[in-house]
Amino acid sequence: MSVLIVGTTALDSIKTPTRENPRLLGGSASHAAVAASFFSRVKLVGGVGEDFPKKYLALYRKHGIDLAGLQILPGKTFHWSGEYEVNMNHRRTLLTELGVIETFQPKLPAAYRDEPFVLLGNLAPALQNAVLDQMHKPRFVVADSMDLWINIALPELLRLLKRVDGFVLNDSEAELLTRENNVQVALRKLHRLGPKYVIIKQGSHGSILSGPRGIFLCPAFPLRTVEDPTGAGDSFVGGLMGYLAGARGSIEANLRRAMVYGSVTASFCCEGFGLNATTKTKRADIQQRVKQLEKMTVF
Amino acid sequence: MSVLIVGTTALDSIKTPTRENPRLLGGSASHAAVAASFFSRVKLVGGVGEDFPKKYLALYRKHGIDLAGLQILPGKTFHWSGEYEVNMNHRRTLLTELGVIETFQPKLPAAYRDEPFVLLGNLAPALQNAVLDQMHKPRFVVADSMDLWINIALPELLRLLKRVDGFVLNDSEAELLTRENNVQVALRKLHRLGPKYVIIKQGSHGSILSGPRGIFLCPAFPLRTVEDPTGAGDSFVGGLMGYLAGARGSIEANLRRAMVYGSVTASFCCEGFGLNATTKTKRADIQQRVKQLEKMTVF
């Protein structure tokens, strides 16, 4: 099976304490789509400007990503620029040029509307809702979000949460949304907003799933080098949804392993700027790290 | 078998955003000894003043802790007072009255010197070294420490690290000691200082063991309520050493489970002020949480 992924398709200019890389392929949909492509076919929904480099279209295609849902619009591609501090845990935005993303309206090709797996990557909740409006009965819908939307588009986000099966956010966003710093209590409050499954990401500390089978503590693969964590969260949820779409059996039975595969895919993302390391990764590399992670967690 | 535990024996006055509790039984040795007592017999080494409440001696005895090594010295018991912020992750010291701890010199009863398992709980490294000087060939020695000793007694601490099998510290202390914020790189640097086993504690995110069998990612038990985290790190390493001392088989084979038992014992510590929750815990309660934690981590 395949997975439909919507989100931002952007150019990222990223500064870290040691390096600077301008206009890399970035955005939530790009990271999620490449991560998902290791496990299943991917149908991308997004919008780029006329300046979008052809080499990035080639990169999507190299990963077998279906681009029928990628609109090339008059204007400039969304451009984000950010800078990381020494410990890579804090970043600040230097520049946000919305470009075509400002007026982008997702429009799904007919062939996309029956997809069973839908990842609503980080994007304005109104657009995430607009994608869902166009879908026929999807089997499993997961939404990602960010602090920005909690701050400026809360009603739309809350409307979305009533329509999705799973919601993914990081720990500081969970605290912002629930006003609760205890993760277990926050999880309970998040379920009350609608989603059956809630996943709270904790960066290098892994992530926590809460669902009908209880809590799953998903480890992060320990890395010696973190070159650039941009897109790690998108890679995580992309890998997760790709794994689910590619696996046989019930969602419930596959979800924990899907998180581990997502987590490992995200670990590769952190080892290079933008998508540089992810695109060099092979399915066998992911497999190997999953096995290593199993050995590191058994007791 | 039993475990010898040295460290501070103190009175803790603890403020949290919601409560205040004066002169609770505290100190690294108290927390570690009670935690270890669930799994093995404990021989305590420490020093208290003449003001030390009799009820706390009774509490030690209730846990079967051998007090032949506890000196009652002229003067006042070490008194520490601290205050936690809302999220319980940051605390500040309000008051430190060293009392008898200022001149305390550990003196081991003859019956203590052949103990196979030795926990050098958080204490001045010179005193930790003085305890080791009095031991005949112990089988397994683990030292804990804190930022204070890294800052003011580094040469003594480095001398100690060459003499121990295991070293336990938290992530910020690891960064302070190694000047390295990547945990994996910090672990490598810490091994070079001597210890075969290094454990980095990460609070509610669990802990990481590095040793000959590689990395073990030890989970923390997810709690809904954290009343007072004081002593959680001491409970962790106390439970760990108690479990090792009480278990059959090789250290290597038991160490991962020992960490999980330590982690769970520490989770109970956090649920009450001082030792209030720990002392109410039964071995069966610990067993049950270990099983729950197994279910939360399997994939």
| ipTM confidence | 0.94
Question: For B82-87, what is the mean pLDDT?
Answer: 84
CB A189 within 8 A of CB A167: no
Mutate to test the interface with A, among B172, B217, B218, B225 (most CBs of A within 10 A): B217
Spell out a b/e string for B145-179, using b for 16 or more CB atoms within 10 Å of the CB, else e. Answer: beeebbeebeebbebbbebbbbbbbbbebbbbbbe
**% of residues, chain A, pLDDT over 90:** 95
**Contact check, Cβ <8 Å, A219/B224:** no
Nearest to A202 among B181, B185, B205 (CB): B205
For residues B195 and B161, the answer to whether their CB atoms sit within 8 Å is yes
Overall average pLDDT of the A134-160 stretch: 97
pLDDT for the residue B1? 86
Beta-carbon separation of B205 and A208 below 8 A: no
Q: What is the pLDDT of residue A90?
A: 79
Q: How far apart are CA B120 and CA B4, in angstroms?
A: 8
Q: Do B181 and A294 touch (CB under 8 A)?
A: no
Query: What is the distance in angstroms between the Cα of B151 and the nearest Cα belonging to chain A?
Result: 21
CB contact under 8 A, B299 and A224: no
| Torsion region of B214: left, alpha or beta (phi above 0 gives left; psi -120 to 50 gives alpha) | left
Interval B261-287: pLDDT, tens: 999 999 999 999 999 999 999 999 999
Cα separation, A188 vs B77, in Å, equals 43
Count how many pairs of residues, chain A against chain B, have C-beta atoms within 8 Å. Answer: 70
pTM over 0.90: yes
Q: Do A217 and B296 touch (CB under 8 A)?
A: yes
Each residue's pLDDT tens digit, A184-198:
999 999 999 999 999
pLDDT (tens digit per residue) in B151-191 = 999 999 999 999 999 999 999 999 999 999 999 999 999 99
Say if residue B241's pLDDT is above 90. Answer: yes
Cβ distance A299 to B294 less than 8 Å, yes or no, reads yes
Whether A18 has a pLDDT exceeding 90, the answer reads no
Residues in chain B: 299
A184–B224 CB contact, under 8 Å: yes
* pLDDT for the residue numbered A19: 87
Give CA B54 to chain center in angstroms: 23
Q: What is the DSSP secondary structure assignment for residue A44, as one 8-state letter?
A: E
B188 CA: distance to closest CA in chain A (Å): 10
| Beta-carbon-side half-sphere exposure of residue B111 (alpha carbons within 13 Å) | 9
User: Which chain A positions have a beta carbon within 8 Å of B170's beta carbon?
Assistant: none
Instruction: Note the pLDDT tens digit of each residue in A76-129.
Output: 999 999 998 877 777 889 999 999 999 999 999 999 999 999 999 999 999 999
Give the pLDDT confidence score for residue B86 in this predicted structure: 77
Does the CB of B212 have a partner CB in chain A at under 8 Å? Answer: no
pLDDT of residue B131: 98
From chain B, pick out residues whose CB is under 8 angstroms from the CB of A260.
Answer: 299
Find the residue in B nearest to A207 (Cα).
B205
- The end-to-end CA distance of chain B, in Å, is 35
Does the beta carbon of A179 lie under 8 angstroms from any beta carbon of chain B?
no
| B257 contact A CB<8A | yes
In contact, B197 and B165? CB cutoff 8 Å = yes
CA distance B193 to chain A (A): 19
Nearest to A109 by CA among A72, A67, A63, A74: A67
Smallest CA–CA distance, residue A222 to chain B, in Å, is 7
The answer, for B294 touching chain A at a CB cutoff of 8 Å, is yes
Nearest chain B residue (CA) to A259: B299
List chain B residues with CB under 8 Å of A208. 222
Residue range A266-270: average pLDDT? 98
pLDDT recorded at residue B85: 83
Q: How many angstroms away from the CA of B88 is the closest CA of chain A?
A: 9
Strands A166-170 and A140-144: parallel
Q: How much is the pLDDT for A87? A: 72
Q: What's the pLDDT band for A17 if we cut at 50, 70, 90?
A: confident
The predicted structure's pLDDT at residue B19: 87
Sequence-separated (6 or more) residues with CB below 8 Å from residue A29: A5, A6, A7, A8, A9, A44, A45, A46, A121, A123, A234
